[in-house]
Chains A and B, each alone.
Chain A
Amino acid sequence: MSEKLEKTYVWDPVVRILHWALVIAFFTAFGLGKFGPDQMTLHFYAGYAVAGIVALRVIWGFVGFSTARFANFVKGPGTVVTYARTLPSPKPSRSFGHNPVGAIFVVGVLIVLAMQVLTGMLSDPEDYINMGPLAQYVSIETARQALSYHEPLSFLLLLMIAGHIGAIFWYKKRKGENLIKPMVTGYAELPPRETPAE
């Protein structure tokens, strides 16, 4: 293959830091929630960290570097289907930023994380020490409903993360593209771009 590749800046520091901070915050929150002490103060703090990360990422999705902006990577169904058809092929994707299928995961995981934060904050487990900070503003019925969603949502998130890691593994094995390194360094090996990143 005589493909010409050059070092290209794809992920700005905000995206990268938020990504890895989310990894730490999510697994801290999950681990503490599932296996942590019965007094869940630290789980709450980890949850607030997730909330902050999600909020910043959404803001950055409107004002950030070009690859961070939703408007630049969220595509219509046609583009998504066209891209999805190329997934089984060993041909590298050479995507500049999120690909159209990955975009669904990004938006999806942000939505589910926001739901997870919200249900956690609304939950009242009726132990009088681990009450979500917003539970006092809603009825006990709503607080119980929130509680009943909070744990299943955490497993949905685990599934989504497994899919995310599976996709990265697939790109590496099948397409020979390392997607982890750019998320660390900010740079990917890509064909020269006509219009450089704004």
Chain B
Amino acid sequence: MRKLILSTVIAATAATTAATGAFAQSPSDIAKARRAFYTLVGFEMATLGGMAQGKIDYDADIASQSAKDIMTLTGYTTADLFAPGTSNEDLPGETRAKADIWADMPGVQEKGMAFYQAVVELNEVAGDGLDALRPAVGKLGGTCKACHDDYRAADF
């Protein structure tokens, strides 16, 4: 999995310098796909966050499945979702991704690695009961926030 992340780093660097296949699609399509990707992450996170906050009853199988699904999503190559020309300055109203992402790709990658680490830790404990799940979800949600703070606008 770490190899996949690293290949993402390399691909992202490539995407900023040279055209890739993703350029065949419109910037709007790319932004739409990017949001769809994070919608999936959020969909699984909503289940885990709901359990951690006691809004949904804890279920070891469901928690493990959600954690596993997020792990699966970390294997997705997101570099082409972050093609240049798809920030909220380029596509107002279509995305909240700030231009800062493209100005600071190493910073984004660092946040991505923190996210990945938190997903790994979550997967180790998701089935071990609510008390084990809660801090792991908290840590993972924290990595969501850390990236949102720097690289995502609050509103469209």
Task: Give A residues with C-beta under 8 Å from B.
Answer: 37-40, 125-131, 144-145, 147-148, 150-151
Are B42 and A129 in contact, CB atoms less than 8 angstroms apart? no
Are B144 and A39 in contact, CB atoms less than 8 angstroms apart? no
* Known contacts A128-B49, A129-B138; is-contact A145 B155 (Cβ 8 Å): yes
A-B contact pairs, 10 of them (CB 8 A): A38-B143, A39-B142, A126-B144, A127-B45, A127-B141, A128-B50, A129-B144, A144-B154, A147-B154, A148-B154
> Which of A128, A144, A148, A151 is in CB contact (< 8 Å) with B141?
A128
Find chain A residues with CB under 8 A from B139 CB: 39
Q: Does any Cβ of A come within 8 Å of B145's Cβ?
A: yes
Are B52 and A147 in contact, CB atoms less than 8 angstroms apart? no
Q: Does any Cβ of A come within 8 Å of B23's Cβ?
A: no
Instruction: List the A residue with the shortest CB-CB distance to B143.
Output: A38
Closest Cβ of chain B to A33, distance in Å, is 10
Are B52 and A151 in contact, CB atoms less than 8 angstroms apart? no
Are B155 and A130 in contact, CB atoms less than 8 angstroms apart? no
* Known contacts A144-B154, A147-B155; is-contact A128 B146 (Cβ 8 Å): no
Closest Cβ of chain B to A5, distance in Å, is 51
Find chain A residues with CB under 8 A from B42 CB: 126, 128
Q: How far is the CA of A86 from the CA of B142 in the complex (A)?
A: 52
Instruction: List the A residue with the shortest CB-CB distance to B144.
Output: A127
> Which of B49, B154, B155 is in CB contact (< 8 Å) with A129?
B49
Residue of B46, B138, B156 contacting most chain A CB atoms (<10 Å): B138
Find chain B residues with CB under 8 A from A145 CB: 155
Find chain B residues with CB under 8 A from A144 CB: 154-156
Q: Does any Cβ of A come within 8 Å of B130's Cβ?
A: no
Q: How far is the CA of A148 from the CA of B32 in the complex (A)?
A: 21
Minimum-distance CB pairs A-B, first 10: A128-B49, A129-B141, A38-B142, A148-B154, A127-B144, A148-B155, A127-B145, A128-B45, A147-B154, A127-B141
Instruction: List the A residue with the shortest CB-CB distance to B46.
Output: A128
